[in-house]
Amino acid sequence: MRAVIDTNVWVSAVLNPHGAPAQVFEAFRQARFLAIQSQPLMDELREVMARPRLMRRLAYNMQMIQELIELISARAIWVEVRGEVSVCRDPHDNMVLETALLGKAEYLVTRAGATESPCARG
């Protein structure tokens, strides 16, 4: 199974090691699916994790953050996005969708609201 995991899911997994996003992280750790990754998604993950507000909340969990980044770097199927998808008004959503398309992902996992379309943010 191939899936793109949006940054908000990875961050939520680190913030709450008992929630549904943490279960996604554990499934990835156990190689139960292949993550599709692009450099813009990785850059965003590193930028979000380095935010001072999150750093204060996550100081106790730096090992998990490092493990996550190392696992993604080593195990993910990497694709090179070129900015060719433009169907959403939010450029981030376009980049996530392009990552999914290029990586032939079967799933796109995000924490968008249940009634929100994947292109509604912005």
Distance CA 35, CA 31 (A): 9
pLDDT tens digit string along 49-80? 888 888 777 765 677 778 889 999 999 999 99
pLDDT tens digit string along 14-49? 888 899 999 999 999 999 999 999 999 999 998 888
The β-bridge relationship of strands 107-109 and 77-79 is unpaired
- The domains of the chain, with CATH numbers, are 2-109 (3.40.50.1010)
Burial of 98 (0-12, 13-18, 19+ CB in 10 A): buried
Whether 58 and 80 have beta carbons less than 8 Å apart is answered as: no
Residue 47, amino acid: E
